[in-house]
Structure 1
Amino acid sequence: MAETRKAGRYIVPVAVAGVAAATIGLVPALAASGDPDLPEITAQQLIEKIAASDTQTLSGTFRISTDLGLPLEGLASGLTSGLGGGAGGSGTADPSQKLTELISGSHTLRVAADGPERQKLTLLDGSDEYSLIHNGDDVWAYDSKSKEVFHEKAPADAGPKDAPKAELPGTPKQLADEVLKAAGDTTSITVDGTAKVAGRDAYQLVIKPKQAGSTVESVKIAVDAANGTPLKFTLASVEGGKPVVDAGFTKVDFSKPAASDFTFKAPEGAKVTEGGAEKAAGEKGDPFGGPLPEGLEGVLGGFGPGAGAGKGDVNVIGEGWTAIAKIDTGAPAPKTDEAPKEIQGLLGSFGDKVTGKFGSGTVFKTKIVNALLTDDGKVYVGAVTKDALVNAANAGK
């Protein structure tokens, strides 16, 4: 299995569904009271600065908080952990399972990077630590709580094209790249002042949808004024309240970390699980360590074009921030009243019954991604409002 696959499967995705970023604004940054007084810069220039940044070495601490707006505390982590556990079965140290914890709650992480060959991330949870280390051909993971070790090695025929990018999962840089790489004309991008982040002077890049009906209010990226590295990423919902995603450095140092930071030796008595390089051969971008359900790859992979109108195929309605993926499962939706009472309560707590020209169905909602499951088995999903999903279903598209 190529190292690209190994590195990619450990990146926890953030659901900014349907993003097709931006008409570049030309509004210069002006320092507000108490913020750094930096030279004026346009959004175009700031994006070019991000693109030109080539930060190969860093170490520091960052905090990531996610609030999807689910009514049950821990529901997101419970569901994703279940998916990971069912697919991999490699123990608690398997990164494809452990890093799904980042999809809910608040977490503190230590990070270090030394070019494309060496990166380290440590997830702190009280006195327990979970470390993920990439050093050359080896990926190691260690869970101090369970005393379990996970190891995976690149195949001997992995070539230079398979080298992983020097990015750490869930960092502001990785999150910013996901938004900016799909620039288009459905978004405005401006610079809105300056800020201090982790003791560094930064410009504030603000990205907003131009289209009505999106659940995304804005994406704000704090960009290091000296080297162009994103230091903080904030995703806000039109519902208000806490940000859906708020990830930012609290400490950062761009000097070269010590080589010893990336060395690992399994502690005596620890259970070591060797990751099967071949087990994921059929997986396409699945962060949970197992094949995606038929038809969902296009949705989670960024709303790629639909392959047709067959069962399980994904058709994309609209564009940009209000794109909606339609999937025909080919089978009627299961009846809620036939499910166990516990499941009925769970579905009822974050699902709304809706009706329209299309018939009837249930909208399952978070603060960003919403999905309409019709009673006849069609699924409409996107970073759009409930009304937008119902309108799409009514149009019979």
Structure 2
Amino acid sequence: MAPNDSAETNGEATGTVVGRRKAARYIVPLAVAGVAAATIGLVPALADSGDPDLPEITAQELIEKIAASDEEQLSGTVKVSTDLGIPSLGGLAGSFAQGAGVGSGSDGASASPDAKLMELASGTHTLRVAVDGEDKQRLSVLGEGSEYSLVHNGDDIWGYDSESNEVYHAQAEGKARAGGKAADHKAAPGTPKQFADEALAAVGDTTSVTVDGTAQVAGRDAYKLVIKPKQSGSTIGSITVAVDASTGVPLKFTLAPSSGGKAAVDAGFTKVDFAKPDASSFSFTPPKGAKVTEADEAKAGAEKKGAEKKGAADKGAADKAQKDLGALEGFKGANVIGEGWTAVAKIEIPGGAGLPTQGSDGAPEQALQFLDAFGDKVTGDFGSGTLFKTRLVNALMTDDGKVYVGAVTKDALVKAADTAK
């Protein structure tokens, strides 16, 4: 086993890592809705075994090894599980997607990655991945008697939902793959590489990085890189990345909350092979009878529906909607209190209204009871408000219409609100 090694990172080291880190070439490009980042993980059963004896390596050397990794071909199985302490988002994903215009069912977009991959934000899932360079990737989400596949082959991106027998098709233009116009098709969540890149990008003066021994993941020898906040008050206890000793590819990513208990996020391979996948893995032809929706058609349909709704509204309602839309621009200018792992975003709610209370106009009692069930009443120098908690992200909505949100504890959130006051 390699002995423990500690590294105090600084801006210079971080810049080197970020500058050298290559794109995650083997992750499927797609259009995914913004889900708090990192809400996908691995069930570690059968993934870890042994404690291999590997040459000593420093934390900086291991970070550089990850950054220099250039493996472009692989295939394997990833098992994912997430425990954020919130209800499953599976049903909500479809609602969010419909509201965003991608629709489902008869709208022809149940195979759109926006809706399907959002389901990975909670629960347990098994994925199969195959990659052959920047232009050929496949991600399949296995269900009970069904499968959702996302295939990128050259200029085409196909999404197929076997349950509904629907197909979603988008063009991955050259600019998209180079990070240009079609950057809507971003890296798919669900692989350790994607999580590791995001974690390493956040490394700075408020972070300690150590090498904490070795492990075996998916039958391969790996070093364990541990990233921890130096500050108190974060809901994140530690992040552990198991790095393949030979290739430098992250094989497993585990995020442990500071409150203890099972991992909140844990992502990794149960099987992995760095040989060139068979070309047939990236071939796709819409099955007979499948409904095919083009991405441009889906977008045009959503815009048409929006225009029809707007046209049906009277002028007074339209003017009010425009005014409300302008007010919502205030959400874009969030202020950040603190830094590093304990940073808190302060957002002003348009109109300065907090949550509805008993006696509020248009606030059904059932709705208020629902909100109370999920939130805790808190007070401080800032006044009073309601705290909404998960295992990683907490949010405080004050009665005077301000929102404080961050991956911090209740006490740290209240302190930030008091400071801002």
TM-score interval w.r.t. the shorter chain?
0.7 to 0.9
Change (3 A) 1:129 1:336: farther
Letter matched to residue 369 of structure 1: V
CA deviation string 1:34-64 (max 9, x = no partner): 4111111111110010000011000000111
Alignment partners' CA distance in 2, 1:242 and 1:333: 34
Once the two structures are aligned, what percentage of the paired residues are identical?
60
For residue 64 of structure 1, the aligned residue among 60, 74, 80 is 80
Runs of 4+ in 1 over 4 A off after TM superposition: 11-14, 155-161, 163-168, 277-280
For residue 385 of structure 2, the aligned residue among 353, 361, 366 is 361
Which structure 2 residues correspond to residues 132-171 of structure 1 after superposition, within 5 A?
A: 132-154=150-172, 160-162=178-180, 168-171=188-191
Change (3 A) 1:388 1:135: same
Alignment partners' CA distance in 2, 1:160 and 1:172: 22
Partner of 1:396: 420
Which structure 2 residues correspond to residues 179-328 of structure 1 after superposition, within 5 A?
A: 179-276=199-296, 279=299, 312-328=332-348
**Alignment check: 8 A CA contact 1:215 1:237 kept:** yes
Alpha-carbon shift at residue 336 of structure 1 (Å): 4.5
Partner of 1:28: none
Partner of 1:7: 29
**Alignment check: 8 A CA contact 2:155 2:174 kept:** no
Letter matched to residue 120 of structure 1: R
Alignment partners' CA distance in 2, 1:158 and 1:186: 34
> Which one scores higher on RCO, CA 8 angstroms, separation ≥ 6?
1
Rg (Cα) greater in structure: 2
Change (3 A) 1:340 1:58: farther
Asked if 1:103 is matched to 2:121, the reply is yes
Bigger shift: 39-48 or 326-335? 326-335
Partner of 1:285: none
Partner of 1:83: 96
Change (3 A) 1:277 1:192: farther
Alpha-carbon shift at residue 153 of structure 1 (Å): 1.2
**Alignment check: 8 A CA contact 1:132 1:139 kept:** yes
Change (3 A) 1:236 1:336: farther
Alignment partners' CA distance in 2, 1:224 and 1:311: 42
Bigger shift: 310-319 or 207-216? 310-319
**Alignment check: 8 A CA contact 1:222 1:233 kept:** yes
CA deviation string 1:315-338 (max 9, x = no partner): 111110000011111320231545
The CA RMSD over aligned residues, in Å, is: 2.9
- Mark the runs of 5 or more structure 2 residues left unpaired by the alignment: 1-24, 40-48, 301-323
Q: How many residues are paired up?
A: 351
Alpha-carbon shift at residue 187 of structure 1 (Å): 0.7
Partner of 1:124: 142
Alignment partners' CA distance in 2, 1:169 and 1:121: 10
**Alignment check: 8 A CA contact 1:117 1:166 kept:** no
- Given the two structures, how large is their TM-score scaled by the length of structure 1? 0.81
Alignment partners' CA distance in 2, 1:384 and 1:278: 39
Letter matched to residue 277 of structure 2: P
Alignment partners' CA distance in 1, 2:38 and 2:75: 27
- Mark the runs of 5 or more structure 1 residues left unpaired by the alignment: 18-32, 281-292, 298-306
Change (3 A) 1:359 1:247: same
Change (3 A) 1:374 1:211: same
